[in-house]
Amino acid sequence: MKKMLFICSFVLILLVFTACGAETPKEYRKNFSSMDTQIFVKIYDTKKADDILLEVVQIYEKFNNLTDKYKDYDTNGVYDINANAGIAPVQVEMDLIELLKNSIKYAELTNNEFNPAIGAVTTIWHEYRENCLTNNICSLPTDFELNEAKNLTNISDIVINEDEKTVFLAKEGMSLDLGGIAKGYTTQKVAEYLYNNNFENFIINAGGNVTTGKHPENRPWRVGLTDPDNIGNYFEVVEVLKKSVVSSGDYQRYYEYEGQKYHHIIDNKTQKPLNLYKGVSVVCDDSSIADILSTSLFNISIDEGKELLNKFEGEFEVYWYKANSEMIKYEKS
Amino acid sequence: MKKADFILIAILLTLTLSITFLFHINRNKENMIAKVYNNGELVYTFTDLNKEEIFTTKGVNGDVVIETKDGKVRIKEETSPLNICSKQGWTDSTSKPLICLPNKVVVEIVGKDKDDIDAIA
């Protein structure tokens, strides 16, 4: 009898222990506004993650201030470089020089489909979009305007002096626009920072840019790809681990004129938004590459896109959501 | 072994089993709540999405009216270009927060949802 009771108590204790699950990682969340979007960060760990979350916010803020072309901050950044175009070199932090060097490298790889010097053109479209959305005065930029601006978009006119830590835009009216890389680049920095500080379980959603670490339950993350025809819903789910998923779409920023949608992903060849696709999603290891590729692929044909992917190392998954709402999937390993 | 022993064992077992069971149920049914942020500040928490409730907060362009009902939450009324805030409709998923950048208002759902998606890109 004693034996029976002993076994029973043993079973009871076991049950209680499994129920409590002594060391399950806790969820630490933060959502904040930066880089012109809302950023959601979730970290899962048995150790406290409150402090590292604040540091994550600081990294985003830092790169926000360095890359914002519309607002002036205390530290020199893109705003100051643009303001001094054709006038004088501007001394900036090494972090921005690194980002610019990467941007120029990607511009060369993508044959300027991703162009960090396209600011003169995107500024025009930005003004027309704002005027339509806020003042209800809607129209299109003239070809003359866009052509003038086109002459101010050569990456060879970005002069970087690494010894002096300066950046100079050679022509007056030129302007940098890092909108196609800043979010992805910063998110990649943040992911690396988390790994280096032994926070391996995390997921970051920075407005269409999802970057994942490991999953606390040892399974892949399930990321939905935005359905451009039905925002808030997804047309496909991808399972990822330690990867980035970035979507670019005509639904993110746009205005309408005479029944036609004019979105924010401006094609470098025509200085206009093209309507080949409603959305393009890229899955790969590096968040900044996913970012520049989703915008670059948006304005070229699928065949050209596959050719472009061959120039990059590593595994890629691409989902084109065509203008006729047909979906094309491509995997490159 | 006496009959009483069996009864004792049976009682003990049922007791722990039910406790464990309840414990698990509670953990898995962590109530879904919705947190409302205005300009980064937490301004309100809907503690029961099944309850019909309205909360209004002053956004950049005017009042932002947030409603809960039938386990879901939505931005009912607001002023923004193209009404991108209210156009997002109802959500009941942690992976689908309501983001209203023009008014600097965000509604985030926290808890365990039935949706098996972790995020949307």
Rounded to whole angstroms, the Cα distance separating A331 from A283 reads 9
Rounded to whole angstroms, the Cα distance separating B95 from B83 reads 21
pTM of the model: 0.86
State yes or no: pLDDT of B84 exceeds 80.
Answer: yes
Q: Which pLDDT band holds residue B2 (cuts at 50, 70, 90)? A: confident
Contacts of B120 in chain A (CB under 8 A): 205, 210, 223-226, 232, 234
E strand map for A250-312: 254-257, 260-263, 277-284
A134/B106 touch (CB, cutoff 8 Å), yes or no = no
Instruction: Quote the pLDDT of residue A20.
Output: 52
Tens of pLDDT, residues B6-55: 888 888 888 877 876 766 555 545 588 999 999 989 999 999 999 999 99
Per-residue pLDDT 10s for chain A (333 aa) are 566 656 656 555 555 555 555 578 999 999 999 999 999 999 999 999 999 999 999 999 999 999 999 999 999 999 999 999 999 999 999 999 999 999 999 999 999 999 999 999 999 999 999 999 989 999 999 999 999 999 999 999 999 999 999 999 999 999 999 999 999 999 999 999 999 999 999 999 998 899 999 999 999 999 999 999 988 789 999 999 999 999 999 988 899 999 999 999 999 999 999 999 999 999 999 999 999 999 999 999 999 999 999 999 999 999 999 999 999 999 999
Rounded to whole angstroms, the Cα distance separating B34 from B46 reads 5
B16/A209 touch (CB, cutoff 8 Å), yes or no = no
Instruction: Quote the pLDDT of residue A22.
Output: 54
Instruction: Quote the pLDDT of residue B16.
Output: 77
Q: Which pLDDT band holds residue B111 (cuts at 50, 70, 90)? A: confident
Rounded to whole angstroms, the Cα distance separating A248 from B120 reads 12
Contacts of A245 in chain B (CB under 8 A): 121
Portion of chain B with pLDDT greater than 90, in percent: 50
CA distances (Å), origin B57, targets A1, B61, B63, B73: 67, 11, 6, 15
Instruction: Quote the pLDDT of residue A12.
Output: 57
Helix (H, G, I), strand (E, B) or coil at A191: helix
Instruction: Quote the pLDDT of residue B80.
Output: 86
Q: Is B5 on the interface with A (CB under 8 A)?
A: yes
Instruction: Quote the pLDDT of residue B4.
Output: 82
Q: Which residue of B has its CA nearest to A240?
A: B118
Q: Is B72 on the interface with A (CB under 8 A)?
A: no
Instruction: Quote the pLDDT of residue B14.
Output: 85
Rounded to whole angstroms, the Cα distance separating A267 from A276 reads 11
Task: Out of B2, B23, B121, name the one closest to residue A209 (CB).
Answer: B121
Instruction: Quote the pLDDT of residue B87.
Output: 86
Contacts of A232 in chain B (CB under 8 A): 88-89, 91, 96, 120
CA distances (Å), origin A308, targets A144, A224, A246, B112: 31, 25, 17, 41
Instruction: Quote the pLDDT of residue A274.
Output: 95
Q: What is the DSSP letter of A116?
A: T
* Closest listed residue to residue A249, CA positions, set A294, A189, A314, A311: A294
